[in-house]
Structure 1
Amino acid sequence: MNILTIDLEEWFHVVFEGDPAGWKNKESRVMKNTEFVLDELVKNDIKATFFTVGWIAREYPDLVKKINNAGFEIGSHSDFHRVVYKFSKSGFKADVKRSVESLEALIGKKVTSFRAPYFSLTNSVAGYLDTLVENGIEIDSSVCPVVTKYGGYKNFPSNEPCLIKSEHFTIKEFPLSSYRIFSKQILYSGGGYFRLFPFALIKLLFKQQQYNMTYFHPHDFDGRQPALNLSLIADTRRKIGAATAGDKFKKLLASFNFTDISASDKLINWDQVPVVNF
């Protein structure tokens, strides 16, 4: 099962805890970068889930409508692209609610899937998942089984679709893919890892796994992103491999069959998947 997902956000959303007040003053590149992605998906007749920031839906409604009208699934990627563990539970619920309402008002259909920015669903805020259910979300894809700068769910017991259950809720989980090399789990299926690793390695890892969850951003394929006030390491991390990532993306689409989360959900017998109890 190879699942294609796009986190629909602007290039400057890579800044941790960015200030929305200044976003309108920055150059917009999401339209052009997303057009590249859409062209390749249509050309290869591939469906994908677009996890969309609520702010993007309000600022660029025509873009989100175009994606929806082309038959692609729209999910929520929060409202202002903030990490989950910086929120109180009520604050997170309000953020999710606004994003879902913005998206549903725009596309005229129910939004049932969610991904946290930066895969920032950590052990400490796992209980926040019940607020997703309260907002009509049935499927989450926020769990990263590798600890990163922005989060990661250490020792998450499943590397495949599973059910997360507690006394108060049940939700379907599509975790991010990882691969164990010796004693270390690595990521490979999107973002900076996809941009950094050679395509031969990425193709090999995809073939090794029965479940591959991708996560691309329009800015992953933008080698001309404007400057940001970041450290040299952080600035290099956001740009590395972007100039050649588009060609790698084309090769990936030509090498494997992909589907979206909605179609994958229908293929899974949820009575037989692992259950993670909170």
Structure 2
Amino acid sequence: MNVFKFDVKRADTVRQVDLIRFFLPLLLFVIVAIFEVQEHWLSTKKFEFQLVSEIMFFGVIGPTAVFFALTYIKFLLMEVITAREETEAVNRSLEQTVAERTQALAERNKELALANKELMQLDQMKSDFVSLVSHELKAPLTTLNGGLEVVLQSSDVLPEKTNRVLRVMAAESERLTQFVQTILDVSQLEAGRLALNPGPIAVRPLLERAAEMVINNPDRVIEWHIQPDLPPLWADEVYLEEIVRNLLTNADKYSDLNQPITISAHTEEDCLKISVTDR
């Protein structure tokens, strides 16, 4: 509709310029002829050569020059109109392209939002499932650990082979319990529900307890580099001990038996640095 209106306006403009281009020189010729006739013919009553020459000069050459000038102006005007039409066409094309891209982007954003919502729902279902399974496994494992601990308290009346099997079962049950607890902690961490209970911790007893629980091979050498008079560390004791146990487990699992494991703890500026190295 806008193109049609503009074409009509262009046609009207061209028609008006053409009218002026043709009728203005004619009007000038008539005016010059009347003026010259009035000036010479009415005063002298003769048809002189000067009258004819002035009419030819002012009445023909002048209007002709005006005609060509208006023709050139029409040409320039057509160039301007054409350039304007091309600009309008480019603008309309750009507006249409922007509208299409905007619509496509909106649809894509809608699809991404829907996919993100589905992923969040799946992630929540996964977290709930892991949490449920972990809780369901943790209860019987706690019972099993308690039963094994009670049985091991009477190990003096049991055969050595039975005691050895029970100790292995207790160690594996404890390891499985820690594994389930780790899964539960990760699930709670992803859900933003992991609760920490920080407090003052004696570092050396915690490290010794973790090493005693993890390192079961008597041939494994542990080197201790603990700074004397270490200040208490403010942290969650359960999770800190779990971190140390994981480090010790990796060191014990992936290093040669003749390679000692070094456990160190010392203050460094305003921090307390704990490290476990196996090489």
**TM bracket (short chain):** under 0.3
More helix by share: 2
TM-score computed with the length of structure 2 as normaliser: 0.22
Q: Which has the higher contact order (CA 8 A, sep 6+)?
A: 1
Greater radius of gyration (CA): 2
* TM-score, structure 1 normalization: 0.22
